């Protein structure tokens, strides 16, 4: 018999745009006993988590719950449920994840029109609004924080103009939720998808989503109750179309990612759909509890501070930062790989010799930039200082000429400045 060794994953400093390190409190919550999915103790945890998610998304929406699966499942659930085959969809793209939205919207039958900006920049909201008037879409779908390029799109003006034109505005806030302000209601976003393994610092495997009554109306118009769950009053099936109530609309084609069924499961009627991921929900609840204990504003400020220390350090070592600084995503910092340096070799040495992980990028940026994440539990002073020291050493080892010792000093300077501006530190 083969004797497999005990699992013994190394402890890392994870400075990527996800997955990131997880607070030990979340890891502990993952190990609690299982409860049955209709146990009142468990449904109370479900309800409480919905309340916490409303605070996270800054919304009064009735619906705020996790979809089981990685963030991509949340995106797919929202797009599958809201895009009816033939719907006109406008997708502004400024990086890899915008292309993913296009990919999914097209697969579910949307008539997609895209507009694109060069990677490293974002849209002037007026450009998106002009495209809306040209395309007259039913939906506008776009990314808030584009992790592939480290850019962040201002959304407020776009949301306002969508609402005025009665267009549904759907936003991928997977990378930003819990790290930078995401104002679901104030920015008129009809559906928002978050992520767990980035600024929330909960393991990958759930996708918190929220949507308002405007989105729900569309979802309900496309509802089809599963065959084995129908009650006599649930009206009759029209072949190929769904239930009579929904005959004006094509029913939602996914079963697993059908928001109309998921919301029934998350409502007091608890209409059975899948089996909720017990342990993951414990983890998510604990991650949200930590976030609410810290306070959203304090958390956003913490992310800003460590970004400032990191960029000060990188600039002091002479690194060149990638992208338009006016729209930099605070939780991802992109560094141009110097001419003649093997970016993957630098990353491998950081991981092997220092236990620190940073990321590369995709598509046109592959081999051209490194991406450093400062997200959630990984966004800490000790991580920033260790990374700067190690990065400098590894770059020197790779023959890059740089002013040795300056990076950590520059970051320490930022921390000291911040400490002296706060009476309590
Ligand atoms: C990470 C990320 C995703 C995909 O998340 P998964 O959890 O890997 O499915 C989608 N959109 C954005 C903007 C991301 O940063």
- Position 235 confidence tier, pLDDT thresholds 50, 70, 90: low
Q: Would the pLDDT of 125 be above 60?
A: yes
CA of residue 232 to ligand 1 center, whole Å = 41
299-311 pLDDT tens trace: 999 999 999 999 9
Alpha helix locations (H) across 222-277?
A: 259-265
Q: What local confidence, expressed as pLDDT, does residue 2 receive?
A: 84
CA of residue 70 to ligand 1 center, whole Å = 8
Mutate to test the pocket of ligand 1, among 14, 16, 19, 147 (most ligand atoms within 8 A of CB): 147
Mutate to test the pocket of ligand 1, among 14, 17, 18, 95 (most ligand atoms within 8 A of CB): 18
What are the structure tokens assigned to 102, written together? Answer: 């296009």
Tell me which H or E stretch contains 161. Answer: helix 156-164
- Position 122 confidence tier, pLDDT thresholds 50, 70, 90: very high
- Position 425 confidence tier, pLDDT thresholds 50, 70, 90: very low
CA dihedral of residues 222, 136, 327, 148 (deg, nearest 10): 50
* Closest alpha carbon to 52 in 379, 282, 301, 376: 282
Q: What local confidence, expressed as pLDDT, does residue 237 receive?
A: 58
Task: Give the residues across from 91 on adjacent strands.
Answer: 114
Residues with CB under 6 A from ligand 1: 17-18, 70-72, 97, 143, 145, 147, 172, 174-175, 195, 204
Mutate to test the pocket of ligand 1, among 91, 94, 97, 375 (most ligand atoms within 8 A of CB): 97
Q: Would the pLDDT of 424 be above 90?
A: no
Average pLDDT over residues 395-424: 92
E strands, 337-405, where? 356-357, 369-373
CA of residue 168 to ligand 1 center, whole Å = 21
- Encode burial over 345-364: b for 16+ CB neighbours within 10 A, e otherwise: ebbebbbeebebbbbbbbee
Average pLDDT over residues 138-150: 98
- Position 247 confidence tier, pLDDT thresholds 50, 70, 90: low
Name the pairing type of β-strands 151-152 and 139-143. unpaired
Q: Would the pLDDT of 4 be above 50?
A: yes
What are the structural domains, with CATH classification, of the chain?
Answer: 22-290 (3.40.640.10), 295-420 (3.90.1150.10)
Contacts of 328 (CB under 8 A, 6+ apart): 150, 151, 152, 321
Q: Would the pLDDT of 376 be above 80?
A: yes
- Position 242 confidence tier, pLDDT thresholds 50, 70, 90: low
CA of residue 66 to ligand 1 center, whole Å = 15
Lookup result for tokens 């400075």: 15
Cα–Cα dist 425/416, whole Å: 10
CA of residue 106 to ligand 1 center, whole Å = 18
Least confident of 219-228, 318-327, 367-376: 219-228
What's the chain's length in residues?
Answer: 425
Task: Give the residues across from 206 on adjacent strands.
Answer: 68
- DSSP label at 124? -
What are the structure tokens assigned to 322, written together? Answer: 């990638």
Which phi and psi angles does 211 have, rounded to 5°?
-155, 155
Of 317 and 247, the structure prediction assigns the larger pLDDT to 317
Q: What local confidence, expressed as pLDDT, does residue 409 receive?
A: 98
Q: What local confidence, expressed as pLDDT, does residue 176 receive?
A: 98
| CA distances for 338 relative to 263, 316, 317, 350, 356, angstroms | 50, 15, 12, 16, 20
DSSP string of 307-336, one letter each residue: HHHHHHHHHHTTPPBPS-GGGB-TTEEEEE
Q: Would the pLDDT of 96 be above 50?
A: yes
| Percentage of residues of the chain with pLDDT beyond 70 | 96
Q: Would the pLDDT of 244 be above 70?
A: no
Q: What local confidence, expressed as pLDDT, does residue 224 receive?
A: 87
Q: What is the mean pLDDT of the chain?
A: 95
Cα–Cα dist 62/59, whole Å: 9
Cα–Cα dist 322/328, whole Å: 9
161-214 pLDDT tens trace: 999 999 999 999 999 999 999 999 999 999 999 999 999 999 999 999 999 999
For residue 75, give the ligand 1 atom closest to its CA.
10
Q: pTM, whole model, 2 decimals?
A: 0.95
Q: Would the pLDDT of 262 be above 70?
A: yes
Average pLDDT over residues 277-299: 98
| Percentage of residues of the chain with pLDDT beyond 90 | 90
Q: Is 371 annotated as a binding residue?
A: yes
Cα–Cα dist 26/152, whole Å: 28
What are the structure tokens assigned to 113, written together? Answer: 């029109």
Average pLDDT over residues 356-360: 98
For residue 196, give the ligand 1 atom closest to its CA.
7
Average pLDDT over residues 118-129: 97
For residue 143, give the ligand 1 atom closest to its CA.
13
């Amino acid at each position: 018999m083969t004797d497999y060794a005990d699992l013994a994953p190394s402890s890392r400093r994870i400075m990527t745009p996800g997955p990131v390190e997880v607070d030990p409190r979340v890891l502990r919550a993952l190990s609690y006993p299982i409860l049955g999915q209709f146990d009142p103790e468990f449904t109370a945890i479900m309800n409480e988590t919905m309340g916490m998610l409303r605070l996270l998304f800054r919304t009064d929406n009735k619906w705020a719950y996790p979809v089981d699966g990685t963030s991509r499942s949340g995106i797919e659930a929202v797009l599958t449920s809201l895009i009816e085959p033939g719907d006109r969809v406008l997708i502004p793209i400024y990086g890899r994840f915008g292309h993913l939205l296009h990919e999914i919207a097209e697969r579910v039958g949307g008539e997609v029109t895209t507009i694109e900006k060069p990677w490293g920049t974002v849209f002037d909201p007026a450009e998106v609004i002009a495209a809306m008037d040209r395309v007259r879409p039913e939906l506008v779908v776009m990314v808030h924080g584009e992790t592939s390029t480290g850019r962040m799109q201002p959304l407020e003006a776009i949301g306002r103009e969508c609402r005025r034109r009665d267009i549904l505005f759907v936003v991928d806030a997977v990378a930003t939720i819990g790290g930078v302000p995401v104002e679901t209601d104030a920015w008129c976003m009809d559906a928002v998808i978050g992520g767990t393994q980035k600024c929330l610092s909960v393991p990958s495997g759930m996708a918190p989503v929220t949507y308002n009554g405007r989105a729900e109306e569309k979802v309900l118009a496309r509802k089809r109750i599963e065959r084995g769950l129908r009650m006599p009053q649930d009206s009759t099936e029209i072949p190929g179309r769904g239930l009579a109530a929904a005959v004006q609309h094509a029913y939602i084609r996914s079963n697993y990612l059908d928001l109309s069924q998921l919301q029934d499961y998350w409502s007091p009627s608890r209409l059975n759909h899948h089996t909720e991921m017990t342990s993951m929900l414990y983890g998510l609840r604990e991650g949200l509890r930590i976030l609410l204990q810290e306070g959203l504003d304090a958390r956003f400020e913490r992310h800003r501070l460590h970004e400032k220390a990191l960029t000060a350090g990188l600039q002091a070592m002479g690194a060149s930062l990638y992208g338009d600084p006016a729209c930099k995503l605070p939780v991802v910092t992109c560094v141009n790989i110097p001419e003649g340096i093997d970016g993957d070799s630098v990353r491998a040495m950081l991981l092997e010799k220092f236990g620190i992980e940073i990321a590369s990028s995709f598509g046109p940026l592959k081999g051209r930039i490194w991406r450093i994440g400062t997200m959630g539990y990984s966004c800490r002073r000790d991580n920033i200082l260790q990374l700067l020291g190690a990065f400098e050493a590894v770059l020197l080892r790779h023959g890059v000429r740089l002013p040795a010792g300056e990076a950590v000093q520059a970051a320490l300077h930022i921390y000291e400045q911040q400490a002296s501006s706060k009476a309590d530190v």
